[in-house]
Amino acid sequence: MEKTIKIEGMHCKSCVRAIQEKISSLNGVESIKVDLIENTAVVSYNQNIITLEEIQKEIEDLGYSTGLNSSKKKQNNILRSIVYGLVPHIGCIGFIVGSVLGVSVLMQFFRPLLMSRYFFYGLVALSLGFATVSVVLYLRNNELLSVKGLQRKWKYVSITYGSTLGVNLALFLIVFPMLANVSASVGSDQITLGSIDSIILKVNIPCSGHAPLVSEELKTINGVQEVKYSTPNIFAVKYDSGRTTKTEILKLAVFKEYPATLVSENLTNATANNSTQSQSCCSSKKSTCCGS
């Protein structure tokens, strides 16, 4: 007796080899040929010794589906597909995550790279490149590098690229903004010499990946008390007016590469009065105020 069995859940040549070795060892099975592209197995067997259902059960015991217990295997197959989609480019994901963590931990080391507008564009391209290489190698190693093989493994390809894009989106929408606000408060143990003023800056950064760099640079200024980043490019800065000024903040070197625009400022009455008094004194040319 010869029958064709439809098999779901096969992913590579190892799956084919496991099924063929298992089924061919059964008493009563004369031959078996598994086709990875067609998702089928053609089995020749002696129906007086073994039944088709028994062969199917042996295949399902290996973790594949032949229709006998498809409802029980469905969840496992979904999880397996996700794993197969993530594993091929885990090295790429690790490289990106390592770079991101380095922005916060080793800022001085990564600063020259982050000062380039195209740094993170390159990382995204690199991650997609790794995904492409992993797909090509996977299909080639399993003799599926063809249009038909690509159609056969469209789920695997979709999950591979989908997980890569998902990781990138998570980095730019969640991880980068979070890192920009990690340890944002500084100088809290210092005595305030002036008033606590605040300004809101709009910085011309190409993506949120550069936000941690800007936050870290702002925190290097003596007198900056707090930096809060909001997507896509807004930075709220609180500073001690007795230690630094808005002008000093805007002179940061990072703003030469990524220009900053003052959106608004919130000055205390003391700071505002001092500024008004200074302007009034200078306009009347009083030497006690202007030092002239």
**pLDDT tens readout for residues 89-130:** 455 455 455 545 544 454 566 677 778 888 888 878 888 888
Domain layout of the chain by residue ranges: 2-68, 84-179, 196-274
The pLDDT value given to residue 30? 92
Residue 93 is predicted with a pLDDT of 53
Euclidean distance between CA atoms 292 and 281, whole angstroms: 11
Residue-level pLDDT at 163: 80
Percentage, residues of the chain above pLDDT 90: 31
DSSP state of 259: -
**pLDDT higher at 152 or 42:** 42
Q: Decide if pLDDT at 272 tops 70.
A: no
Has domain 196-274 been given CATH number 3.20.20.70?
A: no
Percent of the chain residues past pLDDT 70, beyond the cut = 75
Q: What whole-number distance in Å separates Cα of residue 128 and Cα of residue 124?
A: 6
Range scoring the smallest mean pLDDT among 43-47, 273-277, 285-289: 285-289
State the Cα–Cα distance between residues 57 and 67, nearest whole angstrom. 10
Q: Say which CATH class 2-68 falls into.
A: alpha beta
Tokens 């010499």 correspond to what residue?
193
Q: How many Cα atoms within 13 Å fall on the side-chain side of residue 128?
A: 8
2-68 and 196-274 in the same fold: yes
Rounded Cα gap, residues 108 and 249, in angstroms? 19
Residue 96 vs residue 14, higher pLDDT:
14
Only one residue has tokens 């982050």, namely 114
Token code pair at residue 262: 């003052």
